[in-house]
Structure 1
Amino acid sequence: MADKEAAVMHLEDQRAQGISADDAEFLSNFSNEEKKIVLRKVDMRLVPMFVLLYLVAYIDKTNIGNAKIEGLLPSLNMDGIQYNIALSIFFIPYVLAEVPSNIILNRLKRPSRYLGFLIACWGIIMLCTGFVRNFAGLVVIRFLLGLFEAGFLPGAVLVISKWYLPNETQTRIAILYTSAASGGAFSGLLAFAIAKMDGIAGYEGWRWIFIIEGLATILMSVACYLLLLDSPSLSPGWLTPDEIRFLEVRQLAANNHGSHHEGFDKKVILSVLADWKIYLLILANWSNAVPNYALKFSMPEIIKSMGYEAANAQLLTIPPYSVGALSAYGFSVFADRFSWRMPFIVVPQLSLIVAFAILFSKAAEIENNIALCYFGVCLACFGMYPILPGVNAWNVCNIPNPHKRAVAIGYLICVGNAGGIIGSYIYKTDEEPRYPTGYGTSLSFAVAGVMACLALEFCLWRANKAKDRMAMSEIEARYTEVQLREMEEKSPLFKYTL
């Protein structure tokens, strides 16, 4: 086996498309210390910017939950089902626009300009939400918000995949996603403070939430346009020529199983749609998306049902989200360190099962089980937030073709976010405080997610074993170098990440 592995490594070195002998020698001579320095420089400039941008995106997506307990519904003469409709309408354009947006972004040299434009648009829409006067206006606003927010998360994951290798992505995506958990905590604190502006200039407190946060979003769009990194080749101001060469060459070497054609091939979309692996990842993604979207829109109301006033309910959303942020980062560090995705997704999913089992069984008497139910909410956040970084990193690791990867990232996130449509309806006002539909549905999706991850792990393990059984002489006799590249992840030389 060792001889075959050495032969595979030698053959891959020879076939690393786009890597000259000089480039290969340069890459091998680039020391670990130099690598750490350049990655630290990228981390310090790219990751914090995305964290801030995703924090803004998350707050703008979910602040309607904070506005609800500050009087949104009676002010607009809305009932519970109309609120659910306003939540779900966001996800229709949000889901449909994600893949096209990533295709566009993958063709652009400066993602900072495109993402900056999207952020400015949804910032203006968020600002306008503060002046909406009826249910119909809110529906239009939420639709437009979903349309322009759609491109951000898949775009951010795509940009990260262009700067980092697959076994470096989950930690960075997790840091990005921790801003969602931090955003949940910060959103409650911010809403608590902004709601104190109730009556200023004749506007209710919930309107000021949208107005202030919309203005902040517009400012962040300017920061994105000016500060977000585009590519190594466009970063000579802070990267040395050798560092730029290292970042570019190692990406080419890492993608040596993919077809590096120029432009975009429509067959890429078909190959993603026909890829069975992505559907198991989508099911795993739903174990986060459905309960997460449902809980983030309803958490202030759930905590309020424990007997707390609106102001304290806003503040008590902070600890669960903080637990989620720490969990997402911690699990991702170990997943990247061991280059093993499945356990660091399944363990959080099992935590979700326990959390929603507690809430499903005890929420009917929530005021007599405040500590246990609040623990269940915290445990749910502990389990939800590591799933999305893990699933997206698992997807990136097993797609060597950069064009297919761009589409697959968008497709996984877009269909995963369709879970938000389900999540928008499962917490019904007339079922408060027990919420059997909300907790029961979330529990079911967590169980399904565990089964999907275990099935994917088994299938990939079996595929790797089948590839290992092929001798190098058999591979060379059966396939040409061009055929092996065109096979991409199906190539017998490519090993799936488990």
Structure 2
Amino acid sequence: MATLHKDQGEMDQIQPAPDAASMADEKVEKVVQIGEIRVLGLPPEDEEFYLNYPPEQRKKLVHRIDIRLAPMLAILYLISNLDRTNIGNAAIEGLSADLGLTGVQYNIALSILFITYVGFEIPSNIILKKFKRPSYYIGIIVTCWGIIMTLHGVVQGFGGLVAVRILLGLFEAGFFPGAIYICTQWYMPNEISTRIAYLYLTSALASAFSGLLAAAIASMDGVGGYEGWRWIFILEGLFTVLLGVSCFFFLIDSPRLSRWLSPGEIRYLEIQHFIKDGGQFGEKSSRTSWKAFRSVITDWKIYGTTALLFVNITAGYGVKLTMPSIIKGMGFKNKTAQLMTAPPYIAGAIATVLSSKLSDRFYKRMPFIVIPWMLFIIGYAVIMSFGAHTDQHVGPAYFAVFLVCIGLFPVNPAITSWTANNITPASKRAVGLAFYSGVGNIGGILGSFMFLTREAPAYPTGYGTSIGVLAVGILIGLGLEGAYWYLNKKKAQVPEEEIRARFTEQELSDLGDRSPLYKYTL
């Protein structure tokens, strides 16, 4: 945090704020209420500056941040999804036959990625925070996975394919937690959902773009003696490498390191970050990382939202990795099937934006999880009802694919926001989000084995398992909503004066979301 001082006739200058120790020496113990956040140690002049900051200027500032941060993170997330799932496009261009894959070897290659992806997510997040400039760490891992993606194009058998998939998961593991961490440096909690939605929006666009790009690149079959599916990996990998290098120059880190901000804007954003973390409450709690980890693994609520993510990842990867094959089963040729994947994904992208804006506007999460999943189930049920004869019901089956995509892509932003909104303090939130993302992504392993090649084009195991998993997810979502509602009601029955008589401000802060004053987001 920094404090702005103004001398007569002189320009505003940023002066470093005192650290937590010096502030403690000065016995700055005042607690102020900023919105729903209680903040310890906020100097009166900073409180006045923050509260009196013109709304129009704040709106313009947030817009400027969006322009600089959102596109870069969105492109990175797009390429992350593209590189992780383009193996589905390569599959219908002959990957399995050319590499001599048999049985479930293809499914093993799909799922093996998630072992390192899940296992290295939390360690990667810890390493990220050792970097003064997170953009450098993001640049390194993106460049590395781009090189690994290029190597996908030269593998000669099952062993080589498994090796590059393991390495791809290792380097991709750190990107999403890193992207969320960077977002938290710039935005308040009630602004995060829409920004996360920008990332998930590109997940849908990546799937659409993947089909279009694969259809074009596959026509290079025979160029340089390589099959078309190899060129899909090689060219997309080289683009990823270039994108990784660009991170060192264009990905913004934090307000203090941003020369494009005015001194007043830097001051406002640093005060905002101080407030969001509860001021000295956050500084004190950030020193107890083991305590935060223990708090996360003993918090049943985090397991609830992690289960929701597991459900969506399971169903989602079944869609992303198999969509070209599903549409091919409707009677389309390879290139046409690739192209036909794009419109449903675009519909999913539009639904993501609309759903997230409504979710932030009403500050509700559960309805924007359960309702889309109902559409998802209807879509799969329609396709499943046609069995192996989707080619005789192309119109209804293809429309059902639209329902699936509209029911899939809006959900992840809602779950992630619901998780982040209900974890505090900041130290627990950082560990909790990494745990949530890491464990939830295990669903990718199950999703990789649901759609079996030998069951094409009916895929009864894939559709049936997805519907069952989604139904369980809906029940968990409704149950979690009911639990939050009950806890809020129970807390409201105890007068605030009685609570403050029993606990000190520090004790209430240490309790975090378990504090009797904390209200859960529904």
Matched, 1:38 2:25: no
Is contact 1:161-1:396 (8 Å) kept?
A: no
Check conservation: 2:77, 2:176, Cα contact below 8 A.
Answer: yes
1:319 counterpart (343, 356, 359): 343
Q: 1:264, CA displacement in angstroms?
A: 5.6
Match of 2:433 in 1: 409
Q: Could you tell me how far apart the structure 1 residues matched to 2:407 and 2:470 are?
A: 10
Q: 1:368 and 2:392 equivalent?
A: yes
Is the deviation greater in 460-469 or in 139-148? 460-469
Question: Does residue 231 of the first structure (1) align with residue 265 of the second (2)?
Answer: no
1:94 to 103, 117, 129: 117
Describe how 1:74-473 pairs up with structure 2 within 5 A.
74-235=97-258, 237-256=259-278, 259-261=282-284, 262-263=286-287, 265-473=289-497
Report the more deviating stretch, 71-80 or 325-334. 71-80
CA distance in 2 between partners of 1:229 and 1:94 (Å): 25
What SS class does the counterpart of residue 364 from structure 1 fall into?
A: coil
Aligned residues: 490
Distance 2:387 2:427 in 1: 47
Instruction: Work out whether residues 204 and 346 of structure 2, in 8 Å CA contact, stay in contact via their aligned partners in 1.
Output: yes
Aligned letter for 1:166?
A: P
Distance 2:106 2:128 in 1: 33
* 2:37–2:275 Cα contact (<8 Å) kept: no
Structure 2 unaligned segments of length 5 or more: list them.
Answer: 1-30
Residues 344 and 12 of structure 1, relative CA distance in 2, 3 Å threshold? closer
Counterpart of 1:134 in structure 2: which amino acid? G
Structure 1 stretches of 5 or more lacking a match?
1-7
The offset of 1:211, in angstroms, is: 0.6
Deviations 1:196-252 (A, max 9, x none): 1111111111111111011000000011121111111111x1111111121121222
Deviations 1:139-183, CA, capped at 9 Å, x for gaps: 001000001001111211222122111111111111111111000
CA contact (8 A) 1:130 1:210 kept: yes
Distance 1:121 1:407 in 2: 25
Amino acid at match of 1:420: G
* Structure 1 residues 52 and 12: alpha-carbon distance in aligned structure 2, compared to 1, 3 A threshold: closer
Is the contact between residue 353 and residue 443 of structure 1 (CA under 8 Å) also seen in structure 2?
yes
* Structure-1-length-normalised TM-score: 0.95
Q: Deviation digits for residues 384-415 of structure 1, max 9, x if unmatched?
A: 10111111111111123222211111111111
Q: Supply the RMSD in Å over aligned alpha carbons.
A: 1.7
Identity of aligned residues (%): 48
Q: Contact 2:107–2:448 (CA<8 Å) still a contact in 1?
A: yes
Aligned counterparts of 1:444 and 1:13: Cα–Cα separation in 2: 39
CA distance in structure 1 between the aligned counterparts of 2:164 and 2:37, rounded to whole angstroms: 54
* Secondary structure, aligned partner of 1:425: helix
- Deviation of 1:82 after TM superposition, in Å, equals 0.6
Distance 1:191 1:13 in 2: 48
The TM-score, its normalising length taken from structure 2, stands at: 0.91
Residues 151-160 or 263-272, more deviating: 263-272
Q: In the alignment, what sits opposite 2:10? A: none
| 8 Å Cα contact 1:93/1:150 also seen in 2 | yes
Give 1:80 deviation, angstroms. 4.3
- The whole-number CA distance in structure 1 between the counterparts of 2:46 and 2:488 is 29
Q: Structure 1's 209 and 10: CA in aligned 2 closer, same or farther, altered over 3 A?
A: closer
SS at match of 1:16: strand
Structure 2 residue 499 is the aligned partner of structure 1 residue 475:
yes
Counterpart Cα distance in 1 of 2:418 and 2:149 = 33
> For each residue in 1:286-321, what CA deviation from the matched residue of structure 2 results, as whole angstroms up to 9, or x when unmatched?
231111101111111111111110000000000111
Structure holding more helix per residue: 1
Question: Which one is further off, 254-263 or 126-135?
Answer: 254-263
TM-aligned CA deviation for residue 444 of structure 1: 1.1
Q: What SS is found at the alignment partner of 2:86?
A: helix
**Contact 1:103–1:406 under 8 Å retained in 2:** no
Match of 2:43 among 11, 20, 24: 20
TM-superposition CA deviations, 1:319-343 (whole Å, max 9, x none): 1110111111110001111111111
Change (3 A) 1:190 1:57: same
User: 1-side partners of 2:72 and 2:480: how far apart?
Assistant: 33
Q: What is residue 513 of structure 2 aligned with on the other side?
A: 489
